[in-house]
Every structure is written in structure tokens, then in C-alpha cells.
Amino acid sequence: MDKKLATYICTGCGIGEALDIEQLSKVAQKECKAALVKTHACLCGQDGVAMLKADIQNEGVNCLMIAACSPRVMYDVFRFDGCLVDRVNLREQVAWSQKPGDEDTQMMAEDYLRMSAAKIGKMDPPEPYKPEEEISKDILIVGGGVAGLTAAKEVSRAGYKAVLVEREKELGGFQRKVAKIATFPYKGLKDNDVEALVQEVSKDGNVTVYTGAKIEKTVGGPGVFKVTIAQNGAVKEHKVGAIVMAAGWKPYDPSQLDPKLGYGQSPNVITNVQFEEMAKNGGVKRPSDGAVPNNVAFLQCAGQRDPEKLPYCSSVCCTTSLKQAIFIKETNPEANVYIFFKEMRTPGQAEDLYRKAQEEGVIFIRCQDPQVKASGASVTVEALDDLLGDTVLLEDLDLVVLATGMVPVTAFGEDYAQVRARLRAGETEQKKEEEELEVPQDAILVSDILNLEYRQGPELPGLRYGFPDSHFICFPYETRRTGIYAAGCVRRPMGVAAAFEDGAGAAMKAIQCVEMVSQGKAVHPRAGDMSFPEFFMQRCTQCKRCTEECPFGAINEDEKGNPLPQPTRCRRCGVCMGACPERIISFKNYSVGMIGDIIKSIEVPEEDEEKPRIVVLACENDAYPALDMAGLRRMTYNAWVRVIPMRCLGSMNLIFIADALSKGIDGVLLLGCKYGDDYQCHFVKGSELANIRLSKVKETLDRLVLESDRVRFETVAISDYDKLPKILDDFAETLEGVGPNPYKGF
Amino acid sequence: MANTVTQSIMVVGGGMSGLSAAVEAAEAGYEVFLVEKNPYLGGRVAQLHQYFPKLCPPYCGLEINFRRIKDNPRVKVFTMAEVTAIRGVEGDFDVTVKISPRYVNEKCTGCGKCAEACTLEIQNPFNYNMDTVKAAYLPHDMAFPMRYVLDPSLVKSAEAQKVKEACPYDAIELDMAEKTLELKVGSIVWATGWKPYDVKKLENYGAGAFANVITNVQMERLAAWNGPTQGKILRPSDGQAPKTVAFVQCAGSRDQNHLPFCSGICCLASLKQATYVREQIPDATIYFFYIDVRATDRLEDFVNRVKADDKLVFFKGKVAKITEDGASKNLVCRVENTMTEELHEIPVDLVVLATGMQPNTSETPLPTPVPYDEYGFVASMDAMPGIYAAGTTRTPCNVAESVADGTAAALKAIQSVVRR
Amino acid sequence: MSIKVDPNLMKDLKHFGLKDASKCFHCGNCTAVCPLSETGTPFPRKLVKYAQMGLKDKILQSTEPWLCYYCGTCSDNCPRGADPGETMMVMRRYLTSLYDWTGFSRKFYTSEKFEIMAVIVTGLFVGLLMLLIHGEFDWQHASLEKAWPAHGMEIADLIMASILSFFLLTNVYRFMKFTMGDLLTKIPLRIYASQAKELVLHFLTQKRWAKCEDRTQWVIHLLIMTGYTTAFILVAVLLAGGLAVLGLTWEPLRFQRPFDPATGRDVIYPIFHPIRLLGYYATVAILIGATYALIGRFKRSKAPYKNSHGTDWMFLVLLELTVITGICVHILRLMDIPFATYAMYILHLMIAVPMLVLEVPFSKWSHLAYRPMAAYLKGVKEKYFAEIQGAQAQAPAAESAQAEA
């Protein structure tokens, strides 16, 4: 599009008082080459906006440089369809955070205008991505348990079609094995109604059900997934738009349990799962002789909350044991039932079930490490009672039930890293080295569930203990594979009550995904973004960095190693753009060239002026808002900084640093999110990758004969705005120590 | 629905559940009215310092959700608004929304001139009244919408005119009156959340009369930089850093005389707050008085992490009585160590009560009959055809569960309005 | 050596009135909120745990149930509705039955039918006895002295008293053995002696109780107890209380004065005579106390009155009736209506005697011995251990002194 740039400078909110507006206008005219430069006392006000609209209509303005407040406010006021709009943050990050009327403040504002002009110069309106093949809005649901069935039901009720794939011969998952259920209002045991759900889904015309089936492979991406389903010999292919991953859990293998829990030493020592099966099929009997058990003990946390076995708590075992204990009491009131527990965990209304069990006369013994002595039919339990400080002994138990935990099905199978190592065994040393990156590899186990034909691995990456989530607090359904949403116990150990809601929730995300994709929009976290990365393949060297580093596995490879981007899988973070040493990856409105130009547009004063310049590459999701809030609080910070927001710090390309330093910029500060186990990066690995790349920046610096102090990486949280001024000032101080960049004036 | 006359969805409550429900439904292509009682969105989480177990700032996730709203014109946000009446049936509800006057209109740029001009101060609700704020105020640093509020007391005061004139954008309307809107929606998500259990009812813990007995929600504000003490954990009575801090669990929860259910989050919240204390006061002795430590799923890791702190005493026993020394304002917790049968009277400088979650529906039920449980929670997500309950309106839950619940409710709300 | 858990105890304790103990989740609130509970003798939670686990032996060794005065604070504050105060009450009943070697007490507590029958039988027996053995019935004037001459009654009294004391004291001895173990003999007599006044003090005042939040319970109990004691002294001692039998009668203080041939009637004390006033005090005190308790239990007005066991009712009803019939006897006698007086007097004893015979050694009344005894023994133990520690403290000191020398 041929651009007609207009610059609008708002003088309100203290901008007018802090800056020489006339001077700014000159910069806009002369340097930014704005066809139109206007100032207004309140640009966001009715007549301010009217003025902009008029110019768009009458003057044919299609690129607006709005030098006013932060893009994070007045977003709706300054939205003009068909126009490129760039917000120059003169308010929060200049007028409110710098000394009013100061020369440096003025220079900062002027630079921001230049930078904006450079940005708009390289910006094109994004065209939504439309794949050749037409987009499917059907939802694939993996797993026919409560979560999966609910997902299918809800998808259908929302007017979409679903394909449900279940490994077992029948639908119902684990709940099918369950006699009674414990759920709201937790006043007692309820009948298991999973059969009704199974019936509803089976009869539903919108749901295609495959039982005794498995997914052989999944190719493509959101909107264009092609799923190959194998069912007793036959193979079917389905096109689906998104996937609900509700493949569920497996009971912890009791043979792995500590021998002192007695499993396998007597038929009368069973697991909570075996108990359910018994209860379901003709009642609970003493396995050794089929007699009605009169003395039953439940042992909680069997192999759980144990670093050696399952380090986490399976959440539901307490409620389950309470349920089973009440079940015994209701069928045989005279029976003596004991529960050995570490902590009784019945959150919410489930507390009522605990109370109910107590009222039923269940005896609770708090202990940390109960011992089961079993030989043949006779079983005893001995445990140090926390409350008595004495060892208590239970003899002649008819049944001991071990509360074993839930393991997500994604936690099984070989580590994909090893598989790859094997695959690459044949390759040449040199080729291997290329791939030996410090890039943190996703923890993917070959669990044979989705069989994704993704270059990065066949299954969902796990975060911890094999649960395939990415941001389990704020965005619980998100996985690290776009368009695939986890639901039910595969995501987090949960009870049946939660699993119902979870199925619906994941279905919601899946439906939303197909809707967004069908409009060529990105999904979370850049929901609605129309831009997507384009690859200038002629210059690709098949270095594989983009495929390696993409946190969401959006890019496949052909056998030659050329990247095969799958835009609907892309989250638009730009990590690939930052990773590419050849700089061949760019978005319409975000590219290496653009950032390069922005940096180049910064005016670097002569050395003798003693006005160093610092380029701050700031994560736009956390660091940038933090800077805004520092302004809002009127905290003043260093005047030499020039902030460039990044979609994610992971989109930082080393060339930016080279550009900046070779231009005479004295230092580059990277502000990214916390990484590591408790990472805060919305793109999972962005800031971490940026930091890893920095380790390579040394070469660049050496080449330029520059001090490594000139580049610094700081992790800041969005709430760290109180610390930001100091971080910036400290860096400026360091740079003063280092001295001016010798490249000034080149 | 056959009788669907509108495809709009209303979400009542702009906290974590409501916010999620609203954006999820909107991004799936539906028009959403988001009704929030406060002058800002974010609910209780906006007032938290950090989330457990990652110890990350709630602003981080809120920023993303707010941006999703900004980028999505389908969401219409009403702040300072309450639903007063619901008539009609699924697919065709008529909802009356009462909007209290903000006395500041959409012209507000957030420049803060009004606050500068204002001398009148009011108790700061965002900080649970632990400090004061100008009567013309921005609720908090990341308030969404980023717009000031005038307290009615200011509007009545003589200063009102002066403050009005201080606004360069004539954004202040002193004569702004309460408005009521009539909205037609096809379905409703009710997510009005919870309130901390009233400490005045906890006589054994001083019934709110002891200066240095605070609640867990207040502790969040104390630890936050944008709180009353710029993030320093200090005793309210004398502004000194406490050397011993007691976290008293089940202050109201799991108690038939108060809230018989377990509030689910308090254990982890207190242990998280113990890390706040440790970070600031390395040699502080911290007591964690508990009945059961309820850390489900991977939250267990966090408990183990905190247990490594050798100056943090995990003390199994419910504090029965707290007494205050009138002069020093120091406190004594009387409690039995149930593992040793010893009675203790433990002197501490600061007590943090883990007050439980009381559903707001227990005091302000829906304006249309729906089934509740005996504690005032809405009995199930499908409260009645077309009306869905999400988050802590339904059961005590943490942030992740609230999001999950809100998302699920969004889909059900969509089902009520979808044209098949 | 590990302890065996006995799930059947809870079932057994139900007969003694246990209801909610199983609801306890051991938060410790009750023990910490109790004004009487101390480290060393913590309660009530400990006893609740013993009950839940069925630790009969540990219960048998516990004095705590007797140190609790059932003010109800623990139950009011219990987050679980486990009513720990009730558990302590049940423990007292259970222990009473364990201390009693005759096994009669247990039957009395565990079977209401037996309880009622026992009372009726003894009552009838007493009535029968009085009809068979009596002096001359004066139909002109109501003269109990003529009908049942004091010296006869005195002997009967003494026989009864000694039987009761025998049972009670043997049970008390068992109580001491169970709770003190071998300490009972280890502790030197002088310590027992030195603490003796405590025993009396506790018996007369139950001063510990004053520490409780709800003091009305203490007052009510004090009324019943002092009233009862006064009556006991008047009847059992001054009726001529054995003194006469031993020939040491001091006429002016006889409770029942001999027949006065001049008036042809029993001699009645002048209204302000101390004996008569004491008699009135006893009557009124017991009446108020018993009535308050009865109404309280009827209305379940407060925690201690929420759950009433058969024996609680039986005790109060007998007490109430004894007083009422006593008053009737007094009035009828003043009104000088012979038949009614004699009938009422028989009825009076038909109630009073079973109350004493059954309640004092085997049931609720026995706590008049156990309670002060428990407090007393607690004091004795503490003093003993204090001395031992003192000795241990001094020993090294002495050695060092020698070293210096």
C-alpha cells in the first residue's frame, strides 16, 4: 500500500508542559516525513478523534503516528479500520517519567517519533492466513472418559461436530469401573450415572465415536488437522479443527510400591482401584475366601507424596477412601473401618464427606508411615500414631486398601530425546554439532496417544511429572501445542466433579480455536493477531534453529532440513524470527528489518555531548506495562533509554545488538520475563532463549572489540515497576564506567 | 434454543471466573456484557501480591486478559454495576442492571489532575482499608478501565467544585446519577465470587479488635509494593517489622460455628505468605498452625519447598484463643500441640488469620430463584436453564480452578444462545 | 510394645451416653480453650482420642475426667460438633462402672430397665420394712417419734451408712490403684498427709470449678452439694447420729426431738433454732439446685444439659422427690395429720434410701468421693515429683560442696 503518514501530537496529560511541541512537530515533518503534522490538546477527546477521522476521510491519511499516551490505553478510541496506527508513548514513558522541559526529555520524545516513523515505514497491514484446504470446525476428542464424554456432549450441544476416540472397547473410562461416586453436595454416596452420559454421547448424531481405536497419526495444525484412526484393522481419516486431549490416567503400578505396604504379600491387600472393581462387580469380599470383610483398613498416600514414587498428591484419594469406607459401613454397619492418613485432604464441600465418614464411625489414624505385615490371609497394620506418640497395632484385618495415585497417560513411554539421539546416530559429526544446542528441549515421552507428525516430537511436552500443561495457573487448558487442549486427569489429578467441568472448559477452548483459525487469527496469548511469520526460503541454510526453538512446535522440516511452517500452529511470538541467523523470517508488521530500522533511527549524539544511548528491548507483555506503571506513578528514570517493545523477548535477534552497538549505541538492555521451572514467559521459553542467545553475543562483541558489559539481560515481572528505575539507572552507571561506544559517529 | 431471540451473553462478576467466561465466549464470536460491581475488573486476584505456587504476580495474567478484552470489541464492560432483576427464560432474558455513579465519564484520560486537586481522603477499599486514598482516585495501578473514581463523600463536600474544575477534559460530572439499564441476553453466567469471612464473628481471635491480628487478604496487600506499606510487612500497631508471625489456619473454615466447609486455598495461601515474611525478615520465627495441610496435586511441591525453612514451625493444632497485651499490643496464641498433648501459650508479634471464603451469594443471592447448598453456594453450575454459576460462587476454588470453571460456564452460556 | 486398637469400646460407650465423639478430628481446640486443662493433665481431646481408639487401659489410668467440671466451653467451641464435654461426662460414668468391683454399677448405667427396677425394689423393701418394724401409731397426733423411735432409726442409719461406706471406700481404693499405679505406695505418707487439707477443701468448695467460664454451674452444684451435706449431717449425725448409741447424746442438738407427753406431740424446734434453719437451708438449696438442673436438662439449655443419660434423670428426680416428700412430711406433721404424716414419711424414705443406697457407691453420687480425690492425688503427685526433682537438683550441689571441702 502506498502510505500517507500523518503525525498527531497530543499536548494533554502533561505532554505539552514537558516537551517542546513545536520542536517535535518539526522532527515529525522534516525527519519522519509526515505529510501531515497536527497537535491537539486532547487527542482522545471527541473533536480530537473527529479530526483524525476527517483526515483519514478527506486527506487520505492511512498511516497514523499518534504521539500521545501508551498503546495500552485509549485502544478503542484510536482504532481505525484500514489504517496503520502506531502509538508513540509520549505520556507514560516520557512526560510522566522524565524531567519536564529537560533537553534529554525532549531528545527522548524526538527519538520516539523517529523510531515510530521507521516502524511504520516497514509496517504492512497483515493479511489473515488462509490455508488452501478448507478449514474444519470439527473437534477431535481423545479419550472417552468423563472428561472426554462431557467434551463431546458439550461440543455437540454448541452445534459443532465431534470425533471421539477411545482405546477401550467401551466408553466411560475409569468411571465405568466405579460403583458409587462422591460428588456435590458430598452428603453421601451417589449412584454412578456415567452410563447415562455414555448413552447420550453414543446416540448423538453430531458425535462420531470410535471405541477400541487408537490414533495412528495426527498431521497438520489447527483447522487442518488430519487424524488417522485405526480401529480393528480398518483405518479412517478425519479432518478436524482442534483437539481435546482427555486421554486420562493410569493407576500407579502397585508392584512398584514399597514392600512394607504389603502389596502382593497377601490377596487381602488390594488397591483402591481393585476395591472399586470389586464393589462394582457383586460387592466387596475378602479376596482370600470371599467372606464379607468385617475389619477394613485404608492406607492413604500409598506411593504418593513420595519423592521416590509419585512426588505429588493425587487430590482425590482421600475423598475416594472416605467414599469406600462409607460404602463398607453402609453395606455392613457392624464392620470396623480404619483410615490411616497423613493429612486428610477434602477441600471445599468435600469436607462434609469426611464428617459423614466420622459420623458413620470410621476410625481415623494420623500417621506418616504405616507398615503392613501380611502373610497368607492374615494381615496386620502397625503405625506410629502421630497423636498418641505410640505405635498402634491392628490385627486380623480382612482387607487392606492401598490408596494409590493417578499417573497421567502422558507420563509413560520413552523419552523422545533418546529416540532422536538414536535417529541421529547415523548422521555426520558436523551435522550433529549443528543440532547440539543449549536450547532447552521439551520433555516429550513417546506415549503413543496423539502421534503428532511434528518435527519436535510425537506428543504433548510435559511440564512436570508428565502433565502436559503450559500455564497451569492462568491458562489451565493451554498446552504447548496449539489447538490441543488438555482436559481431565491427564492435565491435573481431579475428581469426577471437576472432570465434568473440565471437559466443558477444554471444549470451549477448542471451539474458540477453530473459530479464530477460520478467520486467520491467532489464538492465546496473542488472540486475534492476524499476522504470521513468512519465510524467505531462498536464503535458508537449513540450520534448523527455527524448528528447534519454536516453543509450540509450529514448524516442521522436509528431509533436506528446510522449515515447513504451519501458520495455524503458530502463536506469533516471533521466537523463530529471533532465532534465525539468516533473518529470513518476518511478519507483515514485525520484522528484523523493522526493529533494525527502529534502532538505526535513534539519534546518537557525538561522544563529547556525553549523552549515552541505551536501547531497551522490552517484553511487551510484562516489562513494557511495568514501564507504563512506573510512569503512572511518576517515577523518573534514566533519560538515555530508548524502549523498543518486543512481542516476546524470544523474538530478539542478535543482529539487533550488533546493529545497536555498531551504530554507537552505548548499551543494550534486555528486559524479559522470569524463566526456569516457574517461568512467567507467556511463550514458555522466549526469555530463556533470548538469554541463551546472549551467551553467543560475545562473538559479536569481540568482533566489534567491545566490552561485554554493554549488553545486559534482566528479568522483570510486570509488578516490578518499583524496581525498574534502579535497574535502568544501574545499567546507565555501568556504561559510564565502561565509557562511550567508540563506534559513535561512524 | 428455539426461542432464542438474542445471542448476547451476560457475565456477572469481573473476577477471575467472570473475566475468563467473558473473554472466552467473546473470542468464540459472541457478544458479551460483563457486569462488575467494583470500579475495575480483576476481582480478588487483582488484590493479590503473588500466586502460589509460582510466586508470580497476578497482574501478569490479568494484563493478557485485559488485552484480550481491549482487542475484542464484542465485550461490553460495565463497572460499578449490579444486576438487580432477571426476568424471562433461557434465550430471552431481560436483565436490569443498576449502575452507580462514578462521577467520572469516558473523557477521563487518567492524568490524575483531580486527585492532585483533592485533599479529602477516604479509607482505601483496594487495601482493605489499611490506608487512605484521595477521594478522587484510581482504584489501583493497573485498574481496568484506566479511569478515575470520585467517592460520593467528595461529591457532597465543598471541595467537589474545585476538583471538577481541576479536570482539563471535563470528565467529572458531579450530577451523575444512578442509572439503570435494561439488557436483553440469552444466557447469564453468575460469578460474583467470595468475601473473606467476617473476623468480627471470631470472638476467640479478638473479633477484629486487636491491631496486630490481620487477615490473609490484608497480608497480600501488606506484601505488595502498591499496598499500604510499599510492600513492607509491618505491624499495624507500631509499624515495626514482626519478629514472630503466626499463621492461624481455619479461621472460620472447617468450623460448624462458622463455615463448616474447607475453603481449599488457605493452607497454600498462608505458606505462600510465609515466604513473603521470610524474604523480608530472614530471622523471623514463623508459626503455621494447622489441622491438615491441604495441598492437592503438584502444590505438594510448594509445601515441601516451604518445609525446608527451619525457622518455620509447622504446628499441628487449632489456635483456640488469642489474647492481646494492652500495652505492647503483642499477642499470645493459646493452642494445644496435638502431637505432644502439650498446651502452649505462644507470644507473637503478628497474627495472620486464614479467614475462609464466604460465597457472596450467601448474602446477595441471584435476583431470581436458583437452588443453593446450605452454605449459600449455588448448588450446581447449571443453576437453571440459561443461568450458570462459575468459580467460587459454586465451590471454594483457587485461581486455576476459577479460570477452568469460567471457561466451562462460557460454553454452556453459548449453548443457550446458539441457533441450531 | 504397640497398643491394640479396640473398635468395640466406642460401641460400649454408647450405653454410657456417648454420641458425637467420633466426629472429633483432633484440632485441639477443646483442650486449649478449657480453663482447667494443663500440660500434664490435658483434656478433653486426649480422652476423646482414647475413646476413638478404644484404649480402655489408658482411660482407666486417667484422672482427667474427674478434673473436668463440665462447664461446656469445649463443646460450645468445638468446630466439629463432637461435644467433648459430653465425652468427659461419659468417661466419668464409664470409670465409675470400672472402679466398682461389684459390677452393679455397670448394670445400673448400661440398662435403664435395671436401674428403674433396682430403685423400685429397694424402695418397696424400705417401705415394707417400715410397715413391719414400727412403734405405736398415734392416730390423735402425728408423732413420728412414737411411730419410728429415733434410737431405732439411728441404728438403721448407721447400718446403712457403714454398708455404703464399705462399697464406696473399696471403690475409691480401686480408683486410687488404677490412677496411681505403684506410685500409690511409693509416695511417702507425709506427703499424703500434708495435702490432706486440699482434699477437704476440694470436697467442700470444688474451687477448681470457679475457674470455668460459666460459674452458674459451679453455684448450682455448690447449692445441691452443701444442701445435701447439711441434710446428711443433720440426719445421719445429729438425728442422734450414732452419738446417742454411744451414749454421748447432746439433747439440745437432736434433729428429731422425743415425744413430749405434755403436748402429746413430737417436740418441734422454734422457728429460729439453728437446727431448724439448717434444715430449711438444706431443703431450699437442694430444691433450687435440683430444679434448675432438671429444667436445664429438660430444655437442653446449655452444653452440659444437652445430652442426658438415664442416670442423670434418675438422680435428679429422686433428689427432687426426696426434698418434696421431706417438705410434705414437715408440713403434715406441723398440721398434725397423723395418717398422712406417716404415709408421707414412709414414701419419703422409700425415695431417699434408694437414692443413697444406689447412687452413692454405684452411680452419680460416687463422684463426691472421686472428684476431690482426683484433685487431691494430682496435688500429691505434683508435690512428690517436685521433691524428687529438688533432690536431684541438690545432689550435685552437695557433691560440689564436698569437693570444695
Give the pairing type, strands A336-341 and A363-366: parallel
Report d(CA B32, CA A512) in Å as an integer. 14
Nearest to A501 among B59, B262, B408 (CB): B408
DSSP class of residue A524 equals T
Residue A436 has pLDDT above 70, yes or no: no
Do residue B336 and residue C28 have CB atoms under 8 angstroms apart?
Answer: yes
Residue C398 has pLDDT above 70, yes or no: no
How does pLDDT run across A648-688, given as a tens digit for each residue?
A: 999 999 999 999 999 999 999 999 999 998 999 999 999 99
pLDDT for C238: 59
Report d(CA B352, CA B275) in Å as an integer. 13
Nearest to C26 among A359, A363, A387 (CB): A387
Give 3-state DSSP helix, strand, coil % of chain C, rounded to 5: 70, 0, 25
Do residue C39 and residue B318 have CB atoms under 8 angstroms apart?
Answer: no
Distance between terminal CA atoms of chain C? Answer: 48
Q: What is the helix (H) or strand (E) element at residue A269, kind and residue range?
A: strand A269-271
Higher pLDDT, A376 or B251: B251
Do residue A346 and residue B231 have CB atoms under 8 angstroms apart?
Answer: no
The rounded mean pLDDT for chain B is 96
Grid coordinates given for C2: 504397640
| Listed range (A204-218, B241-255, B390-404, C212-226) with the worst mean pLDDT | C212-226
pLDDT for B1: 45
pLDDT for C224: 87
Report d(CA B344, CA B185) in Å as an integer. 58
Neighbouring residues of A739: CB distance < 8 A, sequence distance ≥ 6:
none
How does pLDDT run across A566-611, given as a tens digit for each residue?
A: 999 999 999 999 999 999 999 999 999 999 999 999 999 998 889 9
pLDDT for C259: 65
Chain C residues whose CB is inside 8 A of the B197 CB are: none
Give mean pLDDT, residues B57-64: 97
Report d(CA B99, CA C340) in Å as an integer. 83
Predicted confidence band of residue B42 (pLDDT cuts 50, 70, 90): very high
3-state secondary structure of B256: coil
Using omega within 30 degrees of 0 as the cis cutoff, is the peptide bond preceding B53 cis?
yes
Report d(CA A462, CA A465) in Å as an integer. 7
Q: Specify the length of chain A in residues.
A: 746
Give the pairing type, strands C259-260 and B213-215: unpaired
Report the C-alpha dihedral over residues A108, A113, A119, A124, rounded to 10 degrees. 160
Give mean pLDDT, residues C26-41: 94
Please tell me which residue of chain B has the smallest CA distance to C26: B338
Neighbouring residues of C268: CB distance < 8 A, sequence distance ≥ 6:
C257, C276, C333, C334
How does pLDDT run across A4-21, given as a tens digit for each residue?
A: 999 999 999 999 999 999
Q: Using an 8 Å Cβ cutoff, are C63 and C176 in contact?
A: no
Grid coordinates given for C152: 431405732
Report d(CA B296, CA A346) in Å as an integer. 9
DSSP class of residue A179 equals S
CA–CA min distance B193, chain A (Å): 14
Chain B residues whose CB is inside 8 A of the A511 CB are: 28, 411, 414
DSSP class of residue A415 equals E
Instruction: Give CA separation, B147 vs A49, A66, B16, B18, in Å.
Output: 19, 20, 20, 21
CA–CA min distance C133, chain A (Å): 54
Residue C244 has pLDDT above 70, yes or no: no
Amino acid making up residue C119: V
The rounded mean pLDDT for chain A is 94
The answer to whether residue B257 neighbours chain A at the CB level (below 8 Å) is: no
Residue C378 has pLDDT above 60, yes or no: yes
Nearest to C32 among B257, B291, B321 (CB): B321
pLDDT for C242: 46
pLDDT for C252: 56
Please tell me which residue of chain C has the smallest CA distance to A294: C7
- Write down which chains contact chain B via at least 3 CB pairs under 8 A: A, C
Grid coordinates given for A618: 522490552
Q: Around B265, how many Cα atoms within 13 Å sit in the side-chain half-sphere?
A: 24
Report d(CA A255, CA A263) in Å as an integer. 7
Q: Using an 8 Å Cβ cutoff, are A182 and A320 in contact?
A: yes
Please tell me which residue of chain A has the smallest CA distance to C50: A388
3-state secondary structure of C96: helix
DSSP class of residue A88 equals E
Do residue C2 and residue A391 have CB atoms under 8 angstroms apart?
Answer: yes
Predicted confidence band of residue A506 (pLDDT cuts 50, 70, 90): very high
Cα-atom radius of gyration of chain B, to the nearest Å?
23
Q: Using an 8 Å Cβ cutoff, are B13 and B366 in contact?
A: no
pLDDT for A567: 95
Chain C residues whose CB is inside 8 A of the A359 CB are: 22-23
Give mean pLDDT, residues C98-119: 93
The answer to whether residue C206 neighbours chain B at the CB level (below 8 Å) is: no
Predicted confidence band of residue C197 (pLDDT cuts 50, 70, 90): confident
Nearest to C49 among A344, A358, A388 (CB): A388
How does pLDDT run across C72-91, given as a tens digit for each residue?
A: 999 999 999 999 999 999 99
Chain A residues whose CB is inside 8 A of the C80 CB are: 355, 358
Do residue B403 and residue A476 have CB atoms under 8 angstroms apart?
Answer: yes
The answer to whether residue B320 neighbours chain A at the CB level (below 8 Å) is: no
Please tell me which residue of chain B has the smallest CA distance to C34: B320
The answer to whether residue B298 neighbours chain A at the CB level (below 8 Å) is: yes
Mutate to test the interface with C, among B315, B322, B338, B340 (most CBs of C within 10 A): B338
What strands, in cross-sheet order, belong to the sheet with A378-385? A371-375, A378-385, A390-397, C3-4
Predicted confidence band of residue C251 (pLDDT cuts 50, 70, 90): low
DSSP class of residue A489 equals G
Which residues of chain B are at the C interface, by a Cβ-Cβ cutoff of 8 Å?
Answer: 204, 250, 254-258, 291, 316-321, 334-338, 341-343
The dihedral of CA A458, A463, A469, A475: what is its sign? negative
Do residue B320 and residue C28 have CB atoms under 8 angstroms apart?
Answer: yes
CA–CA min distance A742, chain B (Å): 39
Do residue C28 and residue B255 have CB atoms under 8 angstroms apart?
Answer: no
Residue B353 has pLDDT above 60, yes or no: yes
Report d(CA C304, CA C74) in Å as an integer. 10
Report d(CA A633, CA B110) in Å as an integer. 12
Neighbouring residues of A441: CB distance < 8 A, sequence distance ≥ 6:
A417
Cα B324 versus chain centre, distance: 28
Residue A435 has pLDDT above 60, yes or no: no
Residue A365 has pLDDT above 80, yes or no: yes
pLDDT for C246: 55
Closest CA to B47 of B248, B200, B265, B223: B223
Predicted confidence band of residue C210 (pLDDT cuts 50, 70, 90): confident
Higher pLDDT, C392 or A484: A484
How does pLDDT run across A59-108, given as a tens digit for each residue?
A: 999 999 999 999 999 999 999 999 999 999 999 999 999 999 999 999 99
Report d(CA A143, CA A487) in Å as an integer. 10
Closest CA to A229 of A220, A239, A221: A239
Which residue in this structure is represented by grid cell 470472638?
A: B203
- Report the complex ipTM: 0.93
Report d(CA A350, CA A347) in Å as an integer. 6
Nearest to B318 among C28, C37, C39 (CB): C28
Q: What is the helix (H) or strand (E) element at residue C136, kind and residue range?
A: none
Chain A residues whose CB is inside 8 A of the B377 CB are: 349
Q: What SS3 string covers C216-269? A: HHHHHHHHHHHHHHHHHHHHHHHCCCCCCCCCCCCHHHCCCCCEECCCCEECCC
Grid coordinates given for B62: 490479568
Residue B36 has pLDDT above 50, yes or no: yes
| Listed range (A173-182, A621-630, B19-28, C375-384) with the worst mean pLDDT | C375-384
Which residues of chain A are at the C interface, by a Cβ-Cβ cutoff of 8 Å?
Answer: 295, 336, 338, 344, 354-355, 358-359, 361-366, 382, 385, 387-388, 390-395
Report d(CA A630, CA A618) in Å as an integer. 14
Closest CA to A339 of B61, C339, B357, C7: C7
pLDDT for C241: 44
CA–CA min distance A745, chain B (Å): 39
Chain A residues whose CB is inside 8 A of the B407 CB are: 477, 504-505, 508-509
Which residue in this structure is represented by grid cell 467372606?
A: A291
pLDDT for A7: 97
Closest CA to A227 of A333, A139, A350, A124: A139
Nearest to C3 among A338, A344, A391 (CB): A391
Give the pairing type, strands B136-137 and B149-150: antiparallel
Neighbouring residues of A166: CB distance < 8 A, sequence distance ≥ 6:
A143, A144, A148, A173, A209, A210, A211, A212, A213
Mutate to test the interface with A, among C4, C22, C24, C80 (most CBs of A within 10 A): C22
Chain C residues whose CB is inside 8 A of the A390 CB are: 2-3
